Amino acid sequence: MATYIAPSFWKSNWTALSESAFQMNECNKMTYRTYQSSSTSKSSKTAPEITKDICYRTVFVHSVTGHDLFDGTFERPMKTIQAALTLTRTLRTMHNSDYTLCISIRGGTYYLGTNVTTTSSQIGAIALTSNDSNLVIENYQDERVVLSGGTLLQLQWSVHAKTAAGGTIMKAQIPSYVKLDDFNELYIDGRRAIVAKYPNGDPSTQGVYAKDPGFSFDAQRWWPPSFNPSVEIRVQEPYRNGTVFTNYQLGVGGGAAVFNPPTNFWSTASPPAGDNYVVPRGLTVKSGAMPHIGNWSKPTTGFVHAFHAGYWGSWVFEIASINTTENTIMFARGGFQEARGSDAGGAFYVANIFEELDSPNEWFLDKDTRTLYFMPNETMPDVFVASQIPCLISIIGSSIEDSVKNVLIRGLILTETSSTYMRDYMVPGGGDWAVHRGGTMYLRNTQYVTITHNLFTQLGSNGVALIDYNFATSLTLNEFVWLTDSAIILVGSTYGIDGFSIASQPDNILIQSNLIHETGIYIKQSSPVLIAISRSVSVVGNLMFNIPRAAININDGFYGNHTISWNVIFNTVRETSDHGPINTWDRQPFLSDAVQHDVPSLWQHESYIHHNTLFNNYNALWPIDHDDGSCFYEDS
């Protein structure tokens, strides 16, 4: 935890509160003033507008009347979006590849998780490549188009057992066409069901902010971690003055091996402003606090979701073993969902244990017997969908030089994807974050992509992931709701300290007029917008609320030139602590040409935070939390 300069009075003076939030930075590059448009900011480029009247040819898709052997006309539509994409590639070989082609999708639900060939979180069921520039994918004339990452279940239910409380547990065999590995979410009538858990509660609508949180506070002991030292890299030259965080440093292997790549700022011997990354090996629960633990027949199917001891984020662990005599749960793989680590945890719950299936809307999948168990309310629901894939659409160029250009994604509902909290996480820079570099929509090596008027809902991963080089991406007028992780992540790459020689970062990104709420259902170190190793990001005019941590998190001081303005943000830091609606860090110096073109330095361009409406409620300490090392911000 950083050493704070505490305000001398309660939250009544915004400027003083902002000044008090600058921690351990010795920074003289911070300003507070009445807003005036800055003359020093670098201009941004946005995607050229693509309109329907420039479609050289439109390929139509209809899930009911279409056939993939048809010609894609309105009268003879194709059945699948993938076949329509293949047809556009054929058309490009016959006509000028610079023409804009359009895929117009008729109303209906498209189960992209059925008969999939990949379950990667970085390759979508609809996978655009460098051959797919100048393309529009959109719904037809405001018809409701749903892209599901699941497969529709055809089930024959029977009664399994009656519960002591009078409920009924139903069971059904899972059809052979369903892949079980990524069936980790069950969606019922369009909403995420509750995997059997203790204590009872719906993670989507309950948390530690609620009177009935669905978490247990009955940990008696957290088993101390095993320390596994990493190889430490510390760059002596160049270094920066004027801050506690002078040198680039990194731990490789050892304790950092849980991340991919196996590196972590917090895995050095003495990271500034913190301790070496470790996580507990298990926990012992108070006697009588977990009444069913002695009946668990397959404890290794379970997961423990636990808060960091300081409530700076959360972890998920697989269960390795239990000792029912001592009420002890020992952990297997996990704990990599945030980067700081701790030797103890906080509130927790246990999930995916059959014997905890005792509450309406809970479910459990026995993969050994391919049996689905479910406890309904008074009546059985109609539509059951098994998650199969985490990524619905990917746009990936073969290289920076051969990027995908001029793509518009508009008017779609993206939903019902697999969870990714047990997939690989990595640590970008020196912030507190670990991040899964995947998402429902995944972009890498792109230019001028526009994502607009879409609904991202009931998702098991990040909403949109802009990874490495993406230039002039626009995300506007979308809604993100009921996500287990973050809504929009921007995560670039460097060669260690060198971000000057490599352009693999999101650059000139516009995030405007989006509605983002109910995110971080499983992962509490998450945000509507994460900016990490990125250049010139504008977050403008968005509405964000009901969030476990900060709404906007700038994870490092790489490059800068960000603009955070005209946003309305409230109900943040609902389940964590030591934060604010907007949070920044800068513990790790990087080389870039932010200050002068083609001249590398360790300093970044100034960033601008102005005209935001910030409600500093729940556990937020400061409206703008400029945390360790933060510098070069103009707040007004």
Q: Convert the pLDDT of each residue in 14-64 to its tens digit.
A: 344 444 344 445 565 656 555 454 445 666 666 566 655 689 999 999 999
In 397-499, DSSP assigns E strands to 404-410, 413-415, 441-444, 446-452, 455-459, 464-467, 470-471, 474-476, 479-483, 488-491
State yes or no: pLDDT of 357 exceeds 60: yes
Q: How far apart are CA 88 and CA 85, in angstroms?
A: 5
For residues 478 and 366, membership in a common domain is answered with no
Pairing of strands 455-459, 446-452: unpaired
CA atoms within 13 A of residue 328's CA, in its CB half-sphere: 11
For residues 382 and 496, membership in a common domain is answered with no
Range of the domain at 588: 61-148+391-635
In a domain, 26, yes or no: no
* CA-wise closest residue to 305 among 89, 27, 127, 525: 525
In a domain, 134, yes or no: yes
What pLDDT, on the 0 to 100 scale, is given for residue 274? Answer: 79
In a domain, 301, yes or no: no
pTM above 0.85, yes or no: yes
Structure confidence by residue, pLDDT tens digits, 149-200: 999 999 999 999 999 888 999 999 999 999 999 999 999 999 999 999 999 9
User: How many structural domains compose the chain?
Assistant: 2
What pLDDT, on the 0 to 100 scale, is given for residue 164? Answer: 85
Among the ranges given (265-279, 419-433, 438-452, 575-589), the one the predictor scored with the smallest mean pLDDT? 265-279
For residues 597 and 498, membership in a common domain is answered with yes
For residues 616 and 551, membership in a common domain is answered with yes
What pLDDT, on the 0 to 100 scale, is given for residue 2? Answer: 30
For residues 376 and 474, membership in a common domain is answered with no
In a domain, 303, yes or no: no
For residues 491 and 624, membership in a common domain is answered with yes
For residues 380 and 423, membership in a common domain is answered with no
Among the ranges given (272-281, 427-436, 440-449, 595-604), the one the predictor scored with the smallest mean pLDDT? 272-281
Average pLDDT along the chain: 93
Q: Which residue has the higher pLDDT, 586 or 270?
A: 586
Q: Which amino acid is at 108?
A: G
In a domain, 310, yes or no: no
In a domain, 262, yes or no: no
What pLDDT, on the 0 to 100 scale, is given for residue 7? Answer: 32
What pLDDT, on the 0 to 100 scale, is given for residue 580? Answer: 95
Q: How far apart are CA 225 and CA 342, in angstroms?
A: 9
Structure confidence by residue, pLDDT tens digits, 397-434: 999 999 999 999 999 999 999 999 999 999 999 999 99
Provide mean pLDDT across the span 200-207: 98
Provide mean pLDDT across the span 587-605: 96
For residues 159 and 126, membership in a common domain is answered with no
What pLDDT, on the 0 to 100 scale, is given for residue 18? Answer: 40
For residues 379 and 523, membership in a common domain is answered with no
For residues 126 and 189, membership in a common domain is answered with no
In a domain, 157, yes or no: yes
For residues 507 and 378, membership in a common domain is answered with no
The sign of the dihedral angle between the CA atoms of 466, 470, 471, 477 is: negative
State yes or no: pLDDT of 269 exceeds 90: no
CATH code of 101's domain:
2.160.20.10
Pairing of strands 474-476, 506-512: parallel
For residues 167 and 68, membership in a common domain is answered with no
In a domain, 239, yes or no: no
